Structure 1
Amino acid sequence: MPMHIETLSLISAVQSLALAILLWAGTQGGSGSARTSLKMRAGALAVESAAWGMLAAQAWLHPAQLLLGGNALNLVAQGMSAVALRMLLRESLRWRTVLAIGVVGWLGVAWFGVIDTDYRLRVLWGSAAIMADIGLRMQALLRGGLRRSSRARRALLVMCSASALLLVWRNGQLWFDFNPPADIIQPDTVNYIYVLLSGMQPMFLSIGFLLLYSETLRSELHQLARVDSLTGVKNRLALIETATQLLSHAHRVGRPLGVLMIDADHFKSINDRFGHGGGDKVLLALVGSIRGTLRAGNAIGRIGGEEFVVLAPDTGLEQAMVLAERIRRTIESTPLLVEGHLLQLTVSIGAAAAEPGAQEDVMNLLQRADAALYAAKHAGRNRVMAADPALAGRRLLA
């Protein structure tokens, strides 16, 4: 059965438009940069569909319209696809680079298509622009290394590589064939294969994009399930997971792990006086003060109400108590302005540490820190107490 460029192009146009509609429908109800990237990918498919539509309708168009308009739409679609993928991967979008690639690519195609006509150079110039957009996609996909890439990233890398190889094959055929076609619309085996394979790319690339989109959403949901919605620190689930990892590492390398259990003193009276809105502001300020005293590698989480936990790797009990006292003094010396009233907040802190060689689990370590916190509150609040019996009752002074 004979093939026709117009028929193949029409099939590709319909397919791209259908994919664009499906992807756009998939953005309804979503939010954030992932949703925006999916919208942009859908827009790129719609633009690509218009480019294929022009090729399908070439009998009704002036050659210059097909050349300049079709290539402009194709380059715009390629650029949008590169930006959409980089947005989904949360990489810098490179808008200026993409715009420069599109403009330079189109000007070269226009020059070799209208002014100094040379079909092979025109194809080579346009292919170089598309290759540059593919390079931007692959750069983002390869960030972090191939070994750490997810399945969706690797699938998209394969598809982008296939797109690049198709361009190399087409240009090779044009430059090394003794009788190359004079234009894309000329009936020729090279043109048939190129149009057929190019028309299949939107479907496969969109499948890969959707796989990566789904993977990104799962990752975001995983993170949201582990972040305290008010303070932005780790919630109880994430804190236990992090503590388990840090404790396992501490056991493995023979280093201590310090744990601080922190509780705001008389917090109920703050809620009673200022309401839960005022209490929330106090908790946010409290988290800010604690974070300001921590070093890189320390972790903070909220385990409920006004109670927080700090995990300090490579920190023994003595060092943990020094850190706890620094936190206590910082909070005590930082008056808070709540609804026009200055508020003096204090905290009680229980300190514990998993020392090298002591094989204890996370829950036992947290329970010891909690017992020390209870002792601090029982002893009068606004103080640091240690879980270690040798330091029981000791309070570090300024």
Structure 2
Amino acid sequence: MPIDMPTMLVSILVVALSMGAAVLASGWRIPHRDGLNFWGQGLLLLSAGFILFALSVRLHNPWLIWLGNVLLAASYASVLMALSRFHAHACPLWLTAGPILLVALFSLVFLHQGEWRVIMVEVVLLWQWCAVAASVLRCQSGPLERGRWLLLLGAVLMGLVYAVRIVAQWLDWGQMEHLWPPHMAQVAPHLLSLSGLVFLTLGYVLMTKERADAEFRRSARLDALTGIPNRSAFLDTFQHVLAQAARGDWPVALLMADIDKFKNVNDTYGHLAGDAVLRAVAQRLQAGLRAQDTLGRYGGEEFLVLLPDTPVSGARTLAQHLRQSVEQMVVSWEGKKITVTISVGISGQIPAGAQDAQALIDRADQAMYAAKHAGRNRVEVADALPPPVSTPA
């Protein structure tokens, strides 16, 4: 069955144009950090290039091929820019503008020498796809692996397109500088490029979706104000640590810290100032913890600190350090300086299955209110403490 090259070029054009329009539409009003705008623009440039190549078959005009090659190089540069934007990396000028200038120069110098024009131009285009593949491999995406590997497969296919064409031209497997009559060395690369475009775009869109999903899952487990784990996420971690501690027979300690007289901060300076104080306290507490410790916001102005493999004596030392750190903290708000203190309660045990997470939280809560009842800005350990007569703020 004979293959009509103009028809094949139009098919690639339709696919590239449709995907470009779809990517631009899906990226509308989405933060530019995803690079969807660059990706969509690249597909539209590719479409324009293939329009010129299809016209050159009918009009036999080498200048159309020259301009088409330049648009092709610009399209691949846009792919690199999209990847750089996605990974928040700077894209060197020599990787974007350099290939475009080289393609324009080689296409002009060898305008009427089709054999050399094909070799020189497509060596540059092959280099561009090698740069794309290297960029994909260099950026470790973590949870974005599926999209990343689809993208890499597409880049390899596109690089293979130009490697085949260069070898075919060098070995004189048909006139690669002409699109008519078609030769298998022409047809195979164009089929590869069609597959490559599909894999590339699906991979890139999947990467953006997976990153958005990962960020949504992460934000659902973080407190929106302080950026630390919320109550639900903290309790999940707590149960997991207790189970590990029971198997390993090592101690677990829990701190509950509450900002003293926090209502006075809101009443005196306003709730926005209170939010600033909450953020500052969370940062101070986080800065004083070890890598294995977990800080969470329990509710209101209360924070929980989970200390794996820590006896009560070690927890008391750390709690005193955290208390002093917060006491020394100064929060600037509209020209005023706000200082606060915290009261800290401690509970701890060697888990044996008799007590669950909530029991430890209740004991830490009881110790924290005992610290408030004893004068605030104190640390108390839960050790058969009687419930406090009142619950000072």
Give TM class, smaller chain.
0.7 to 0.9
Structure 2 counterpart SS, 1:77:
helix
Match in the other structure for 2:308 = 313
* 1:222 maps onto 2:217 in alignment: yes
Distance verdict in 2 for CA 1:20–1:121, change over 3 Å: closer
- The letter for the 2-side match of 1:183 is E
Match in the other structure for 1:129 = 127
Residue pair 1:91, 1:140 contacting (<8 A) in 2 also: no
The CA distance in 1 between the partners of 2:122 and 2:337, in whole Å, is 70
* 1:62 maps onto 2:61 in alignment: yes
The CA distance in 2 between the partners of 1:317 and 1:182, in whole Å, is 78
The CA distance in 2 between the partners of 1:212 and 1:173, in whole Å, is 34
Residue pair 1:270, 1:278 contacting (<8 A) in 2 also: yes
Instruction: In structure 2, list runs of 5 or more residues that go unmatched.
Output: 389-393
For residue 325 of structure 1, the aligned residue among 320, 324, 333 is 320
For residue 174 of structure 2, the aligned residue among 167, 174, 180 is 180
Match in the other structure for 1:396 = none
The CA distance in 1 between the partners of 2:195 and 2:18, in whole Å, is 13
* 1:113 maps onto 2:113 in alignment: no
Match in the other structure for 1:238 = 233
Superposed, which structure 2 residues align to 1:304-383 within 5 Å? 304-355=299-350, 360-383=355-378
Deviation at 1:307, TM superposition (A): 0.9
* 1:292 maps onto 2:291 in alignment: no
The CA distance in 2 between the partners of 1:47 and 1:266, in whole Å, is 62
Match in the other structure for 1:82 = 80
The CA distance in 1 between the partners of 2:20 and 2:141, in whole Å, is 30
Residue pair 1:112, 1:121 contacting (<8 A) in 2 also: no
Structure 2 counterpart SS, 1:57:
helix
Distance verdict in 2 for CA 1:243–1:92, change over 3 Å: farther
Deviation per residue, 1:265-307 (Å, 9 max, x gap): 1111221222212211221222232233233343322121111
Residue pair 1:105, 1:128 contacting (<8 A) in 2 also: no
- The letter for the 2-side match of 1:66 is I
For residue 38 of structure 1, the aligned residue among 36, 40, 48 is 36
Deviation at 1:159, TM superposition (A): 2.9
Deviation per residue, 1:110-139 (Å, 9 max, x gap): 377349862563255134323323323431
Residue pair 2:154, 2:198 contacting (<8 A) in 1 also: no
Residue pair 2:153, 2:196 contacting (<8 A) in 1 also: no
Distance verdict in 2 for CA 1:249–1:100, change over 3 Å: farther
The CA distance in 2 between the partners of 1:217 and 1:275, in whole Å, is 34
- The letter for the 1-side match of 2:174 is P
Distance verdict in 2 for CA 1:343–1:30, change over 3 Å: same
TM-score (norm 1): 0.84
Deviation at 1:245, TM superposition (A): 4.0
Structure 1 counterpart SS, 2:281:
helix
The CA distance in 2 between the partners of 1:362 and 1:353, in whole Å, is 11
Mean CA deviation greater in 193-202 or 20-29: 193-202
Match in the other structure for 1:267 = 262
The CA distance in 1 between the partners of 2:258 and 2:341, in whole Å, is 9
Structure 2 counterpart SS, 1:233:
coil
The CA distance in 2 between the partners of 1:359 and 1:73, in whole Å, is 71
The CA distance in 1 between the partners of 2:356 and 2:108, in whole Å, is 71
Residue pair 1:235, 1:303 contacting (<8 A) in 2 also: yes
**Length, aligned pairs only:** 384
Deviation per residue, 1:194-214 (Å, 9 max, x gap): 223313432332222222222
Give RMSD over aligned pairs: 3.1
Deviation per residue, 1:228-247 (Å, 9 max, x gap): 22222222222223334444
Deviation at 1:359, TM superposition (A): 6.9
The CA distance in 2 between the partners of 1:66 and 1:379, in whole Å, is 85
Residue pair 1:105, 1:125 contacting (<8 A) in 2 also: no
Distance verdict in 2 for CA 1:205–1:357, change over 3 Å: same
Residue pair 1:83, 1:95 contacting (<8 A) in 2 also: no
TM-score (norm 2): 0.85
- The letter for the 2-side match of 1:228 is D
The CA distance in 1 between the partners of 2:7 and 2:333, in whole Å, is 70
Deviation at 1:32, TM superposition (A): 5.8
Deviation at 1:380, TM superposition (A): 2.7
Distance verdict in 2 for CA 1:372–1:239, change over 3 Å: same
Deviation at 1:250, TM superposition (A): 4.1
Deviation at 1:105, TM superposition (A): 4.9
Structure 1 counterpart SS, 2:89:
coil
Distance verdict in 2 for CA 1:102–1:241, change over 3 Å: farther
The CA distance in 1 between the partners of 2:295 and 2:46, in whole Å, is 48
Match in the other structure for 2:13 = 13
